[in-house]
Amino acid sequence: MSGPAVPKAVVLLSGGMDSSTTAAIAGRQGFEVHALSFRYGQRHAVELEAARRVAAALGVAQHVVLDIDLRAFGGSALTGDLVVPKDTPVERIGAEIPVTYVPARNTIFLSFALAWAEVLGARDIFIGANALDYSGYPDCRPEFIAAFERMANLGTRAGVEGAGVRVHTPLIALSKREIVLKGTELGVDFALTSTCYDPAPDGAACGRCEACSLRLRGFREAGVEDPANYRTR
C-alpha cells in the first residue's frame, strides 16, 4: 500500500546561503527535492563542492550537476578574465548592474529547471532569488520571475495540458539578515555553504567581494556568527 504521492520540486542549488536555505524551505513545505546545479565555467567552482555537501546534508532525492558552456560567450567577471571587485561599500552594492553579472544566467538556469520539472512530472520550481540585498542583477527581480513563469506556462506541455508551472521565490523579499535567521531555524548548516565570488583553491572565502560583504552584514545583523572559512580576517 502506498500513500499519496509526494510532490516533486526542482530546486536550483548553487551551494550558497540563499539557495541552500531555499532547498531547506522546499523540503519543509513537503516537496521531494530534486536539486540542480551547473558547471558553467564559473571562477568559483568550489561552490559545486558546497552544493554537493548541502544536498547530502539536506537528504535531497536527487542532485544533478549539468555542464553548460557559458564561457563560449564570455562577458562576465564570473566566467571570463575580468577582476572581481573588492571592498565595494556595502551601501553602494546594487546601485548598478555589476561586472559580475552573467548574461541571462537565471534565464538559462530556470529554463533547464523547467525542462527537468517537465520530465519529472513536477510543477514546482524553487529559486533563491533575492530582490532586497540583490547586488543589482535584473534577473533576480520579482517582475522577471513572474514573466518567466508566464512564458513557461505558454511554452511547455505542463502549462498547456497540465496544471501549470509555479516558480517559487521564498527569499525574494527577505533581507540577508532574515535569510540567516530562516536558514538557522530550518537547521541549514551554513558552514557547508559557499558564497564568495573569488574563493581560494581550498574554498576559503575572500571576505571582500560583494557577495561576501552582503553575507557578512547579514550574519552580523542577525547576531549569528558566520561559520564560513574566511582567509582575510
Q: Whole-number minimum distance, CB 196 to its own copies, in Å?
A: 23
Tell me which stretch binds its own copies (CB under 8 A): 43-51, 102-110, 202-210, 222-230. 102-110
Residues 6+ apart with CB under 8 A from 95: 136
Nearer to its own copies, 144 or 197 (CB): 144
Q: Whole-number minimum distance, CB 125 to its own copies, in Å?
A: 11
Binding residue for its own copies, selected from 15, 159, 170, 199, defined by CB under 8 A: 159
Amino acid at 226: D
Nearer to its own copies, 126 or 144 (CB): 144
Binding residue for its own copies, selected from 7, 90, 155, 187, defined by CB under 8 A: 155
- Sequential DSSP letters for 191-233: GG----SS--TT--B-S-BHHHHHHHHHHHHHT----S-BS--
Instruction: Report the alpha-carbon distance of residue 186 to residue 25 in Å, rounded.
Output: 7
144 is an interface residue for its own copies by CB under 8 A: yes
Nearer to its own copies, 63 or 215 (CB): 63
Block residue for cell numbers 545583523? 221
Spell out where the chain has E strands: 8-12, 32-39, 62-67, 124-126, 166-168
Q: Which of 19, 216, 36 is nearest to 127 (CA)?
A: 19
Nearer to its own copies, 146 or 191 (CB): 146
Tell me which stretch binds its own copies (CB under 8 A): 19-27, 46-54, 140-148, 169-177. 140-148
190 is an interface residue for its own copies by CB under 8 A: no
> Dihedrals φ, ψ of 119, to 5°?
-70, -35
Nearer to its own copies, 153 or 193 (CB): 153
Tell me which stretch binds its own copies (CB under 8 A): 17-25, 45-53, 72-80, 192-200. 72-80
Nearer to its own copies, 61 or 151 (CB): 151
Q: Are 218 and 176 in contact (CB under 8 A)?
A: yes
3-state DSSP helix/strand/coil percent for the chain, to nearest 5? Answer: 40, 10, 45
Q: Are 209 and 197 in contact (CB under 8 A)?
A: yes
Q: Kindly list the residues in this chain that would bind its own copies in the complex (CB under 8 A).
A: 64, 66-70, 72-75, 97, 101-108, 111-112, 114-116, 118-119, 138-139, 141, 143-144, 147-148, 150-152, 154-157, 159-161
